[in-house]
């Protein structure tokens, strides 16, 4: 039996089992259409993930190919970066979160069938993540320390990756912190929390705490320890995870010690409660990005550049010890990418949820409107549907924006139209272009005519799956 028939029969069996279980399920009654949409979204998410794991991953070490062509059934020799690999963790977390949401509301059929196997897949992905891990010694603004973090590229053995210089970046660690905290909340496994918190300390060690002429911190996190530019992608994604860490330690007396710079440029340390530490930094990171990178049209630019050091990290000696020095950045650089607005939507929603400061609500409402106006184009490719840019990595970027709309929805119901646009695009592509349990890079225009050139980024398949699972939650909760 060929591969296509096997997949088709497996998918048919999965749907039949779920229909049978749902019909026998004891749980609270719910109106049909929303519940049915939620189940359909979740089943589609699982089908995409199951196919992607089979197509992009090889052997027990969970080595992930960057590309796969469903027409030639060939995966690329090029391996996925850690950022791309994290998209698989994100998709599995999204499924687990949707399953938990349904179970918490009394709809247990899909949870009972699938929860254990996705928890096990999550564990395998975490084990495979260790092939990206390596250690190096970093001179930062306040200390010199050995760190074990995640490289851009995969190594041949766990813990041996080269993470020196520009071979590790702060945004990769931030996406991992986010997903590790999600994994902790979904499984209760403290190993995920411990790793997330360790990486959070590493990223915050990269916060530019040098002082300006007025004695205020310059602020911001560079793209990586080997870079001088400060990006939206190395600041915005960190706001929500910092809020979540605050919530984990709220009411706890646990403390943390961190370094700072005195007005005389000497270094010192301070011990504070973890809850205060994480919430204060969530606010500072959010304010930095809002103050430095928000454009007149209401969306976020890409980065601060125009350095005065020719792209080189510079150091200074203070009291006989070397520290990283501040680099002046003179220009705000575009373009505006959708995920840089998406992370700030999520950050504003999380900050508003925990502190109820009306400025975060105002920011959220303005950004919902401005981002949808900027990034979504009605009737551009298909009548009645909104098109989003899908060049480069934008499919994954757009998924982050969609997640921002979902986080914003409890505080601004205007986010419903953007969310529905993602639902409509996924459903259109599923009905028109689904092939071998895969969707094309361009959801609306479909596959190209040359079947030998239909490589799809693995992270796009996981992004589509994560979107479907998030929309399943939306249909379940609202």
For residue range 96-139, what is the model confidence (pLDDT) as tens digits?
999 999 999 999 999 999 999 999 999 999 999 999 999 999 99
C-beta atoms surrounding 383 within 10 Å: 7
What local confidence, expressed as pLDDT, does residue 18 receive? 47
User: For residues 62 and 125, is the Cβ–Cβ distance under 8 A?
Assistant: yes
Q: What is the pLDDT of residues 23-49, one digit of tens each?
A: 444 344 445 677 899 999 999 999 999
Whether residue 82 is predicted with pLDDT greater than 70 in this model: the reply is yes
Burial class (CB in 10 A: 0-12, 13-18, 19+), 356: exposed
- Using pLDDT thresholds of 50, 70 and 90, give the confidence band for residue 22: very low
What average pLDDT score do residues 427-434 get?
99
Whether residue 298 is predicted with pLDDT greater than 90 in this model: the reply is yes
Q: What residues contact residue 463 under an 8 Å CB cut-off, 6+ apart?
A: 87, 90, 91, 395, 396, 398, 399
C-beta atoms surrounding 408 within 10 Å: 26
What average pLDDT score do residues 448-458 get?
98
Of 412, 436, 428, 422, nearest in space to 464 by CA = 422
User: For residues 46 and 113, is the Cβ–Cβ distance under 8 A?
Assistant: no
What local confidence, expressed as pLDDT, does residue 11 receive? 52
The percent of residues above 90 in pLDDT, for the chain, comes to 92
What average pLDDT score do residues 175-204 get?
99
What local confidence, expressed as pLDDT, does residue 29 receive? 45
What average pLDDT score do residues 331-338 get?
98
> Which CATH code of 3.30.10.20, 1.20.120.520, 3.40.50.300, 1.50.10.20 fits the domain covering 3-477?
1.50.10.20
- Using pLDDT thresholds of 50, 70 and 90, give the confidence band for residue 59: confident
Of 199, 161, 207, nearest in space to 180 by CA = 199
Distance CA 386, CA 378 (A): 4
Of 194, 316, 331, nearest in space to 267 by CA = 316
Per-position b or e across 207-244, b if 16+ CB within 10 A of its CB: bbbbbeeeeebbbbbbbbbbbbbbbbbbbbbbbbbbbb
The CA–CA distances, whole Å, from 411 to 267, 468, 471 equal 42, 22, 17
Tokens of 185: 């909340």
Whether residue 12 is predicted with pLDDT greater than 60 in this model: the reply is no
Using only the alpha carbons of the chain, give its radius of gyration. Answer: 23
Whether residue 1 is predicted with pLDDT greater than 50 in this model: the reply is no
What average pLDDT score do residues 72-83 get?
98
What average pLDDT score do residues 396-410 get?
99
């Amino acid at each position: 039996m060929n591969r296509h028939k096997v997949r088709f029969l497996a998918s048919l069996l999965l749907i039949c089992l779920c229909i049978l279980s749902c019909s026998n399920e004891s749980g609270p009654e719910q109106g049909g259409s929303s519940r049915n949409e939620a189940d359909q979204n979740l089943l589609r998410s699982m089908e995409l993930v199951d196919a992607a794991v089979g197509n992009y991953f090889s052997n027990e070490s969970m080595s992930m190919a960057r590309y796969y062509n469903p027409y030639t059934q060939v995966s690329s020799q090029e391996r996925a970066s850690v950022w791309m690999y994290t998209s698989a963790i994100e998709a599995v977390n999204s499924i687990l979160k949707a399953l938990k949401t349904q179970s918490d509301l009394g709809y247990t059929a899909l949870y009972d069938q699938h929860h254990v196997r996705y928890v096990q897949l999550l564990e395998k992905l975490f084990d495979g993540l260790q092939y990206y891990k390596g250690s190096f010694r970093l001179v930062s603004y306040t200390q010199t320390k050995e760190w074990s973090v995640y490289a851009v590229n995969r190594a041949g053995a766990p813990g041996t990756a080269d993470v020196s210089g520009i071979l590790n970046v702060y945004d990769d660690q931030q996406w991992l912190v986010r997903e590790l905290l999600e994994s902790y909340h979904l499984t209760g496994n403290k190993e995920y929390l411990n790793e997330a918190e360790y990486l959070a300390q590493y990223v915050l060690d990269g916060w530019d705490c040098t002082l300006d002429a007025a004695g205020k911190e310059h602020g911001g996190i560079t793209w990586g320890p080997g870079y001088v530019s400060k990006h939206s992608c190395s600041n915005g994604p960190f706001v929500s995870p910092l809020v979540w860490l605050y919530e984990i330690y709220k009411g706890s007396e646990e403390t943390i010690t961190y370094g700072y710079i005195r007005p005389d440029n000497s270094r010192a340390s301070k011990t504070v409660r973890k809850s205060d530490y994480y919430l204060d930094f969530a606010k500072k990171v959010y304010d930095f990005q809002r103050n430095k990178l928000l454009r007149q049209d209401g969306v976020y630019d890409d980065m601060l550049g125009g350095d005065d050091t020719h792209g080189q990290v510079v150091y200074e000696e203070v009291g006989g010890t070397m520290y990283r020095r501040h680099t002046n950045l003179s220009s705000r650089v575009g373009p505006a990418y959708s995920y840089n607005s998406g992370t700030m939507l999520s950050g504003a929603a999380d900050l508003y949820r925990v502190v109820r400061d009306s400025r975060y609500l105002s920011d959220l409402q303005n950004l919902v409107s401005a981002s949808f106006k900027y990034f979504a184009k009605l009737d551009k490719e298909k009548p009645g549907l909104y098109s989003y840019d899908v060049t480069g990595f934008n499919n994954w970027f757009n998924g982050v924006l969609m997640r921002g709309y979902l986080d914003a929805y409890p505080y601004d119901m205007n986010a419903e139209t953007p969310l529905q646009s993602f639902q409509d695009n996924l459903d259109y592509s599923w009905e028109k272009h689904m092939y071998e349990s895969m969707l094309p890079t361009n959801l609306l225009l479909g596959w190209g005519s040359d079947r030998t050139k239909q490589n799809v980024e693995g992270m796009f398949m996981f992004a589509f799956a994560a979107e479907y699972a998030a929309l399943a939650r939306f249909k379940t909760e609202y």
